[in-house]
Every structure is written in structure tokens, then in C-alpha cells.
Amino acid sequence: MSDVMDSYDDETGEQAAKDPVRARMRQLEKELKVKEQELAEAAAARRELAFVKAGVPLDNPATKYFVKAYDGELTPEAIRSAAEEANFIQKTQVDAQSKTEQEAWNRVQKAQRAGETSEPVVDWNTKINQARNQDEVMQILAQARQESENI
């Protein structure tokens, strides 16, 4: 009987080596395992990036626990507000007065840039006095009329 069992074991070993479907399945299982590991690493990197964008210092030991325990949205705004509540980062306060001052400075700069880009004022009297004949005077008056309509 032992001869029969030995020959049966030999047949299954040869059959397994010859089975390309099972070999391909093993190969795909290995590839799947690698892809799942890469996916987990990418998710961890994405999570870490969200905390960095939120301004959470990752070198502080206390914040490492916060990062591990956080289970809210992974948006920088949500993380920042949770970190502010836990006193890991300073609260960002936008003072209304400083915002108003910033808007005023922006208006001043805009007005300054507008003054730099505009053309100088044309002195029509001087142009008319320097005209040599009647046709030139008529052209200057037509230009002046056109300029007054564009304003």
C-alpha cells in the first residue's frame, strides 16, 4: 500500500507544477499584496501631507499622538480647527482693523498704478497755436472732440 501512496504523491506534485492557472494565481496574489502595501503607504503619505498643509508640527511628540488619533475630515481647514481646539497650534485671528487697513493699502496701490499707466494730459491750446495751416487746426479740433467723447 505504501507504494500506491508514494506514486499518488508524485502525481500531485507533477500536476501542481504543470498547472499554469494555479501558478498565475500565486503570481497575482503576490502582486496584489505589493499593490495593497503601496496603497497603504500612499494613504499614509496623503494623510501626513494634509497635516503638514494644516500647519501641524509633526516633530512634536504630542502631535504624533494627535495625528494617529485624528479621525475627522482630511482637509487642512478641518485639521487646523481640531489642532487649534487641542492647542497644538496657535489660533489664527484676522483682526477687522488690519483687514480694513489692508484693503485701504490695496486701493492706494491700485490708484497709484492707474496714475502710472494713464497718458499725460494733452495741451490742446499749444497744439492749435503750433499748427501751420487751417487743415492741421481742423484735425486737432477733431482729435480734441474725439478725446472729450471718450472721457
* d(C-alpha 91, C-alpha 88), whole Å: 9
Q: Tell me, yes or no, whether 79 lies in a domain.
A: yes
> Can you give the pTM of this predicted structure?
0.44
Q: Is the pLDDT of residue 150 over 80?
A: no
**Contact present, 76 and 54 (Cβ < 8 Å):** yes
What pLDDT is stored for residue 138 in this prediction?
93
Domain residues for 108? 96-150
Lowest mean pLDDT among 10-14, 60-64, 127-131, 147-151: 10-14
Q: Tell me, yes or no, whether 90 lies in a domain.
A: no
Q: Is the pLDDT of residue 108 over 80?
A: yes
List, for residues 18-48, the tens digit of each pLDDT value. 789 999 999 999 999 999 999 999 999 999 9
Signed CA dihedral, 37, 42, 47, 48: sign only: positive
The total number of structural domains that make up the chain = 2
